[in-house]
Amino acid sequence: MKPALQPLPTSRNLGWMLQSVRKSKRLTQAQLASRVGVSQSRISHLEQHPEDLSVQQLLAWCSALGLELAIGPKDSSTPSSTPSGKPTAW
C-alpha cells in the first residue's frame, strides 16, 4: 500500500518531515550529508531552517531518503497537519 501524501503548509513542516524521515531510516546527519553532498552542519541548519534549502538540495535530500516530491492542487478536505502544527508521523 502506498503511503499517504504529506501536505506541507509551511517550511517548518518540511523541516520536521525531513528530520522525521531521516530518523526513521536510522540515518545520522553525517550519513545523510555524505549522500546529499553537504556538510553535517549544513544538514543540521537545514532541518531547523528549511526555508534555506535550494530546490537542488531538496531534490537530492528526497532522493537520499527515498522520498518523491510532488506538487498538485490543494485538497481542501484533507487536514494539513496535526493540532501541534507538526506533520503526522510516518
Work out the widest C-alpha separation in the chain, in whole angstroms.
39
pLDDT in tens, 9-38: 889 999 999 999 999 999 999 999 999 999
What span, in angstroms and rounded, lies between the C-alpha atoms of 40 and 31? 8
Q: Give the pLDDT score at 82.
A: 52
CATH number (1.10.260.40, 3.40.50.300, 3.40.50.920, 3.10.20.30) of 11-65 reads: 1.10.260.40
> All 3 cell numbers of residue 30?
553525517
pLDDT in tens, 29-87: 999 999 999 999 999 999 999 999 999 999 999 999 999 988 888 777 655 545 555 55
Tell me, yes or no, if the pTM score tops 0.85: no
Cα 6–chain centre separation = 10
* Spans of all domains in the chain: 11-65
> All 3 cell numbers of residue 65?
531518503
